[in-house]
Amino acid sequence: MTELAFALAAVAIVLLAWIASRQLALRGKLEEISRSLQQGLEDKHRGILVDLHAGLAQQADRVGTHLADSGERLRSAVAEELRQTRDTLHALQLALAQDLGRSRESMSERLADTTQALTAKIGEHLEQISGKVNERLEEGFKKTNETFVNVMQRLATIDEAQKKIEGLTGSVVGLQELLGDKKSRGAFGEVQLEALVRNVMPASAFELQYTLSNGNRVDCVLKLPEPTGMVPVDSKFPLENYHRMFEAESNEAERSAAQRQFRADVKKHVDDIAEKYIVAGQTSDGAVMFVPAEAVFAEIHAYHGEVVDYAMAKRVWIVSPTTLMAVLNTARAVLKDVETRKQVHVIKDALARLAVEFSRFEDRMRDLAKHIRQAHDDVEKIQVTGGKITQQFARIEAAEVEEKPANVVRLPEERRQ
């Protein structure tokens, strides 16, 4: 019995040592995988791999925790099996003590069978535990790979978005550089004015870069019918002091100075347009100042009403792209109305010819109605005659001809009806 107890204890010790070595091997593999992932990704994106390494470390901790729990459950199961074994061995020891003399050989066989069954059962449990551990490890590795792939895809998306942002930044910087130069701003306003006018007005109703009789060249003139006449339209873009009014690093005094200068710039543009482009006897008594930016236009009308009043007094109307579109649509409607009036006599002649044709149509329709009524009457007479003929045939079939011969004599007369 002592040898058996020692054997069982040795088996238990070997089993525990094998479990411990298994856990150490698994932990070693996990640490090796973590180090390899960390070394492989460190050269590409160091900052992002810190978070990824933290996730992998958390995953390793979870796997380690799971392995620890599995080992604890395994140790508990083995302890339970050992306890059950000890109980079985104790029962066997009692049985052997009672029947030692009579059944030593039989007890030895039973002990061998019990040990073999116990070994097989422990092996099955160990295989099941190993399989579950392998499955969990494979699931963990699979989820880790999926997370890694998702992270790489998101990094690629972020790189593309960053490239697009860099391109957009370059475009914005280019536009700022373009609008920073006075000549470039002027050209920008002229191009925008030309596009608006060409999209709305017919080619004969405007002229670009028109030279007036006083030698000044205006960006555009609208050729409207009298009494309006020729309306000058010039593009102005007061942008420098407008930007200074909204600079974050400027103080209140600097902003106030920028506002005063902005008003002075707009008034100067109004004076230039009134003096250069309003020519008595050639143009209308007013002109249009085109501001290519809606924000600048809104600033003028919302916070600088005295500038607007000053421009009205000078017979200069300040417009933005939106309001200029409304002005151009109104001008186009006026031109269309004038053209319609010019064609009134043509319309009257066409209506007179249409009245004659309609009178002919009415006469012919009346004649057609008469023919239709006559045809209808003829059809009704034909139907009456057909009915009588049908009755005659019916009487002939009924052998009534001999009784009423007069009907046969009157048949030609009925046909004439």
Residue range 293-321, pLDDT digits in tens: 898 899 998 988 999 999 999 999 999 99
The partner residues of 283 in beta bridges, in order of sequence, read 230
Q: Quick one: pLDDT at residue 181?
A: 55
Q: Quick one: pLDDT at residue 176?
A: 47
DSSP state at residue 319: E
Task: Tell me the residue type at 27.
Answer: R
Q: Which of 14-23, 120-129, 153-162, 179-188 has the highest mean pLDDT?
A: 14-23
Question: SS in 3 state form for 44-88?
Answer: CCHHHHHHHHHHHHHHHHHHHHHHHHHHHHHHHHHHHHHHHHHHH
Q: Quick one: pLDDT at residue 141?
A: 54
Query: What residues contact 125, with CB distance under 8 A and at least 6 apart?
Result: 74, 77, 78, 81
Q: Quick one: pLDDT at residue 113?
A: 67
Q: Residue 234: how many CB atoms within 10 A of its CB?
A: 23
213-229 b/e with 16+ CB inside 10 Å = b?
eeebebbbbbbbeeeee
Q: Quick one: pLDDT at residue 86?
A: 75
Task: Return the residue matching tokens 């100067």.
Answer: 268
Residue of higher predicted confidence among 395 and 416: 395
Residues 47-102: pLDDT tens digits?
665 666 677 677 767 767 777 777 677 777 767 777 787 777 677 667 666 766 66
Give the 3-state secondary structure of residue 284: coil
Say if residue 233 is exposed, middle or buried (CB neighbours under 10 Å; 0-12, 13-18, 19+). buried
Give the 3-state secondary structure of residue 100: coil
For the entire predicted model, the pTM comes to: 0.43
Q: Give the DSSP per-residue string, 191-239.
A: HHHHHHHHHHS-GGGEEEEEEPTTS-EEEEEEEPPTTT-EEEEEE----
Residues 139-148: pLDDT tens digits?
765 665 676 5
